[in-house]
Amino acid sequence: MYAWGGPKMKAAGATIVESTGSDAVMGAGSLGKIVEHWRLNGRMSRWLDEHPVNMHIPVDSPAANFPICKITRQAGCRIVHLVGPQIWAWGPWRIGKLKRLTDHVLCLLPFEEVYFSSRGVPATFIGHPVMNEPLPVPVEPEDEEAEEKEHATALPRIALLPGSRPSEIRRNLPSMIAIVDGIRRAHYPDMAVRVISADAKAAELAREVIAALPRFITIEIDRLHETLEWADAALVCSGTATLNVVRHGVPLVAMFRTALLPWLFIGRWLVRSPLRALPNIVAGQKVVPEFIPHFGSDEPIAEALSQVLTDAAMQDAQRDAFVQIRSMFDGHHPDREAVDVIERVIAGA
């Protein structure tokens, strides 16, 4: 097994041809990034000339993977997409390209199998790693007594999930901090807030973005599940993180700040889905407040988060919807089901 990937692929037993995955970007890349992909595609084409393979498994990122799929298809590879390209949300006209450049699509969201299959693309819903892996056992804090004291006295407790990409953190975290600080000053002097950072690099960037970290806010590194168990509500940068919050049953508000001009000239013409937050998309209706994309004042988001904190009926409605969402993933094992499909495609079934 060969891979263009990172440490996790290597740990899984793949022979790494080139390392990828650093400095992930969202949306249209810079000229330098485009040139980098063009050169990578050339190297990959030359590598395939000397290393015949019969299966290509592109992971996520259709913008980057479609040109690679064209190369591997010409080399005689079967192709199984791991993660269905979200052309149901943007670029539905690309379904024809997907038909030409795939033998099967492995879908992580329940409705995607019907969407692709009805358009002539073989597809299978396999579940989602976030929704189907067992929840880890929470790690006990080093200072358990202090944690228990804070848990008892701090009200409310809010988790901030500003995303993992540098651009997401820079655009969303300052607004998130301003929103919770305003709510605290107006209503909750004993509020406690935790910023969830995926790793030390993201935490370092978060500290750079927040010039002076307010005393009521702490940054937690790699303590996603513990923090969501602790939280009464969450303010989340839109993406897979919203599913983690749903899984824990924490009421939430979803937001995503982005640059205005790219949205006006490109984004609004590409994005077709009326719902943007994953919980709403999966449920097929608006179950959580969403501000995606969002420009201008933070006030509407602050009002929505305040309502989530005070409106028991809204909290119950979200939790009930989350139960229904979680039930859609019940019984699936993404890793095993993906392997079954890949083996069938290799065998020509």
Q: Each residue of 148-177: pLDDT tens digit?
A: 555 556 689 999 999 989 999 999 999 999
Q: How confident is the model at residue 129 (pLDDT cuts 50, 70, 90)?
A: very high
Query: pLDDT tens, 88-116?
Result: 877 788 899 999 999 999 999 999 999 99
Task: Output the pLDDT for position 39.
Answer: 87
> Residue 115: CB partners within 8 Å, gap ≥ 6?
84, 88, 123
With a cut of 70, say whether residue 140 has pLDDT above it.
no
Q: What is the mean pLDDT of the chain?
A: 88
Task: Output the pLDDT for position 159.
Answer: 98
* Residue 138 domain-assigned (yes or no): no
With a cut of 70, say whether residue 143 has pLDDT above it.
no
* Residue 83 domain-assigned (yes or no): yes
Do residue 323 and residue 339 come from a single domain?
Answer: no
CATH of residue 314: 3.40.50.2000
* Residue 84 domain-assigned (yes or no): yes
Coil, strand or helix: which one is 157?
Answer: strand
Strands 233-237 and 78-82: unpaired
Strands 55-56 and 15-19: unpaired
pTM exceeds 0.85, yes or no: yes
Q: How confident is the model at residue 284 (pLDDT cuts 50, 70, 90)?
A: very high
Higher-confidence position of 227 and 12: 227
Count helices and strands (H / E) in the chain: 17, 12
Task: Output the pLDDT for position 27.
Answer: 40
**Which of 192, 194, 176, 201 is CA-nearest to residue 24?**
201
Query: pLDDT tens, 179-238?
Result: 999 999 999 999 999 999 999 999 999 999 987 888 899 999 999 999 999 999 999 998
* Residue 245 domain-assigned (yes or no): yes
Q: How confident is the model at residue 24 (pLDDT cuts 50, 70, 90)?
A: very low
Do residue 171 and residue 232 come from a single domain?
Answer: yes
Task: Output the pLDDT for position 60.
Answer: 81
Higher-confidence position of 265 and 102: 102
Do residue 254 and residue 189 come from a single domain?
Answer: yes
**Structure token pair of residue 267:** 């984004």
With a cut of 80, say whether residue 265 has pLDDT above it.
no
Do residue 60 and residue 158 come from a single domain?
Answer: no
Task: Give the percent of the chain with pLDDT over 70.
Answer: 87
Task: Output the pLDDT for position 340.
Answer: 97
Task: Output the pLDDT for position 131.
Answer: 97
Do residue 118 and residue 263 come from a single domain?
Answer: no
**Which of 130, 137, 136 is CA-nearest to residue 329?**
130
Task: Output the pLDDT for position 139.
Answer: 62
Mean pLDDT lowest among 21-25, 63-67, 71-75: 21-25
Mean pLDDT of 135-147: 64
Domain that holds residue 8: 2-132+332-347
**Which of 168, 240, 250, 247 is CA-nearest to residue 209?**
168
* Residue 102 domain-assigned (yes or no): yes
Do residue 192 and residue 259 come from a single domain?
Answer: yes
Instruction: Give the chain's domain count.
Output: 2
CA dist., res. 349 & res. 344, Å (int): 5
Task: Output the pLDDT for position 25.
Answer: 39
Do residue 273 and residue 156 come from a single domain?
Answer: yes
Contact, 122 vs 341, CB < 8 A? no
| Residue whose pair of structure tokens reads 């890949």 in the numeric block | 342
* Residue 137 domain-assigned (yes or no): no
Do residue 22 and residue 41 come from a single domain?
Answer: yes
Do residue 152 and residue 69 come from a single domain?
Answer: no
Do residue 193 and residue 121 come from a single domain?
Answer: no
- Read off φ and ψ for residue 176, nearest 5 degrees: -60, -45
